[in-house]
Structure 1
Amino acid sequence: MDIRHLKTFKCIIEEGSFSNAALKIGYTQSTVTSQIQQLEQELSIKLFEKIGRNMILTPLGKELISYTDQLLETVKKIESIGKSDNIPRGDLKIAIADSLMSYKLQNVLSLFKQKAPNVKISIVSLNCFVINEMLLKGEMDIGLLYDVGTYKESLTSVELTEFPLVLVCSPSFDQGKADFCTPNQVIDTSLVINEPNCIYRRIFENYLRDNNITLNNTIELWSIEAIKNCVSSNLGISFLPRFVVEDELKNNKLKEIKANCSDTKITAICSYHKNKWVSPAMALFMQLVRENF
């Protein structure tokens, strides 16, 4: 079995199509198609089927993904034998929670670039649950995210630090509506917050539900900067990690609202699949994260 064919198969999964995979690895599309056909013949199974204009994975094709990930990880380990210089090289794929990417990682990334100039680093900013799924599938090498309590049996995770959460509003917010401690009430304002699977949104919505507190509606945004701008413009309130609003609180662009959930903390973690080979690049990045986070 040609390992190149499995690498092509994995690339198709990651890139979403034969044509995108061909562009990524520098093959013609006919070469990619030929390699998949040879792999199907060797395995005596059908990996893809054409539905309309799209090539869709068959059930057996989906089953092959995890075996391919395991085999290619083993290949990496074999290729590393005898390379004693321990110099970081190759590619490094990192998925990072949006708030950590925006406010906590710049120094780490700058140091990594200085220490590992030969590493091609790819970064995506995603929801914590999506990051976990990508780590499980081997689509990412490292995840920097918040602990959401899932997949601990399959992922190796290192706790980095805890971050307190804070409920904020505009200084112009009607203080008569600022009682978020008394249960069983309706408050005439909106919650401006990230998408539904955001961990601090879940915490705050659970708090509202447990205390039977109802708000007018939810304004759902995918940018923390956009959330802060809306809140400072008095379009609603938000519940965010304190570190993302520290400057606004100091400059009186935002104001803290006291609530019984204000002492809640979330834990930042660094995670990777337990079966993944920790390359020199991965080891260096995780070391810099622990030292400089």
Structure 2
Amino acid sequence: MDLKYLRTFRTIIDEGGFSKAAEKLNYTQSTITFQMNQLERDLSTILFEKIGRKMVLTKAGEHLIPYVDEILQSVDKLSFLDEHLSECQGDIQIGVGESLLCYKLPVILKEFHKQAPKARLFLRSMNCYDIRNELISGGLDLGVFYEDVGGFGSNLISKHLGDYPVVLVASPKIKSSYPDFVTPDRTIPIPLIINEPNCIFRQIFEQYCRDKSIILDHTIELWSIPTIKNLVKNDVGISFLPEFTVKEELSRGELEKIPTDISGTKITAICAHHKNKWISPLMQLFLNLCDSLTCDTGR
């Protein structure tokens, strides 16, 4: 049995289909099909069946998954037999929330590459809910995100990284015109500039507005926090963001905080992995480096 067939099988599961697995592995779809046919022949069982236009796992395929994971995990362990991290050539898949990736992780990533220069670190900027789901399904080794998404059950082991305040911010001009976000039952004719709907801090602020019956003009939905900040600085609207993302703009007077009844709200950052995940030396290095984040909580 060829080991690469097992890796292809696991990739099909992770990516959700043959075509996406082919794209991920840089194979043709016919290569994926050939490998799965060979694996089925080696195992004398049917792993996939065609339903409509989709290839779906059979019961035998579902039962194979934990055995494949065990084999691939053992192979990964063999790649780390060298005691020196500087010689490690393994891969590590990490999903990170965009705000944390932009403002909290660069120093950690720099040190990671310094200590393990031959490792391949695959970073994905992701929504926190997607990170949680990918960790539970085994698609990621580690996730750095906000635990406020919940829904972990007993599946994940998490490391507390810090509790960070979130603040409502505007340009000085906008704040002078609309300084009150405490009085209820109001319509305020400016837009909210914020991340996509599953963004944790967006959900907190939108719930606050619903509770207060505060209606904003509309929502401008963007992925990039630097872009959000630039629009807010230029009087386009307001935003509700982790304070560490606007620290410099606040200190320079380019942005100002607008008081709310949730001004003391904090969100909790964690680094998590699946409870059954083998902690490779590279994962342990990253977890250790994350300790530096716990030293600057709230700064």
Counterpart amino acid of residue 124 in structure 1 = R
Distance 1:173 1:64, change over 3 A: farther
The CA RMSD over aligned residues, in Å, is: 2.7
Output the CA distance in 2 between the equivalents of 1:19 and 1:215: 43
Output the CA distance in 1 between the equivalents of 2:49 and 2:252: 57
- Deviation larger for 8-17 or 219-228: 8-17
The CA deviation string for residues 145-176 of structure 1, in whole angstroms up to 9 with x for no partner, is: 01122214100001111110110011111534
8 Å contact 1:94–1:124 — kept in the other structure?
yes
Look up the SS of the partner of 1:172 in the other structure: helix
State the partner residue of 1:85. Answer: 83
State the partner residue of 1:63. Answer: 62
Output the CA distance in 2 between the equivalents of 1:254 and 1:61: 58
Distance 1:124 1:65, change over 3 A: farther
Output the CA distance in 2 between the equivalents of 1:199 and 1:102: 16
Structure 1: gaps of 5 or more residues: none
Output the CA distance in 2 between the equivalents of 1:160 and 1:29: 41
Output the CA distance in 1 between the equivalents of 2:23 and 2:126: 24
Look up the SS of the partner of 2:190 in the other structure: strand
- Deviation larger for 96-105 or 36-45: 36-45
State the partner residue of 1:217. Answer: 218
TM-score, scaled to structure 2 = 0.86
Output the CA distance in 1 between the equivalents of 2:205 and 2:164: 15
1:5-84 to 2 correspondences below 5 Å: 5-14=5-14, 18=18, 21=21, 25=25, 30-41=30-41, 42=43, 44-49=45-50, 55-58=54-57, 60=59, 63=62, 66-67=65-66, 70-72=69-71, 74-76=73-75, 79=78, 83=81
Distance 1:213 1:21, change over 3 A: closer
1:1-293 to 2 correspondences below 5 Å: 2-14=2-14, 18=18, 21=21, 25=25, 30-41=30-41, 42=43, 44-49=45-50, 55-58=54-57, 60=59, 63=62, 66-67=65-66, 70-72=69-71, 74-76=73-75, 79=78, 83=81, 85=83, 87=85, 88-147=88-147, 148-173=149-174, 175-292=176-293
Counterpart amino acid of residue 217 in structure 1 = H
8 Å contact 2:46–2:58 — kept in the other structure?
no
Counterpart amino acid of residue 10 in structure 1 = R
The CA deviation string for residues 175-226 of structure 1, in whole angstroms up to 9 with x for no partner, is: 3422111122222211111111100011111111112211111111111111
The CA deviation string for residues 71-110 of structure 1, in whole angstroms up to 9 with x for no partner, is: 34543476379x3626343001111000011111111011
Distance 1:97 1:38, change over 3 A: same
Output the CA distance in 1 between the equivalents of 2:162 and 2:289: 14
8 Å contact 1:184–1:211 — kept in the other structure?
yes
- Deviation larger for 70-79 or 139-148: 70-79
Output the CA distance in 1 between the equivalents of 2:68 and 2:241: 36
Question: Percent identity over the alignment?
Answer: 42
Look up the SS of the partner of 1:151 in the other structure: coil
- Deviation larger for 87-96 or 279-288: 87-96
Output the CA distance in 2 between the equivalents of 1:180 and 1:219: 19
Look up the SS of the partner of 1:150 in the other structure: coil
Output the CA distance in 2 between the equivalents of 1:113 and 1:57: 39
Distance 1:170 1:275, change over 3 A: same
Look up the SS of the partner of 1:173 in the other structure: helix
Distance 1:232 1:72, change over 3 A: farther
Output the CA distance in 2 between the equivalents of 1:21 and 1:177: 51
State the partner residue of 2:297. Answer: none
Aligned residues: 290
Output the CA distance in 1 between the equivalents of 2:16 and 2:209: 40
Q: State the 1:39 CA deviation.
A: 2.6
Distance 1:240 1:277, change over 3 A: same
The CA deviation string for residues 26-72 of structure 1, in whole angstroms up to 9 with x for no partner, is: 766554322201333425224152755xx533464883585366334
- Deviation larger for 71-80 or 253-262: 71-80
8 Å contact 2:97–2:125 — kept in the other structure?
yes
- Deviation larger for 13-22 or 202-211: 13-22
- Deviation larger for 265-274 or 63-72: 63-72
8 Å contact 1:142–1:282 — kept in the other structure?
yes
Q: State the 1:261 CA deviation.
A: 0.8
Counterpart amino acid of residue 233 in structure 1 = N
Look up the SS of the partner of 2:95 in the other structure: strand
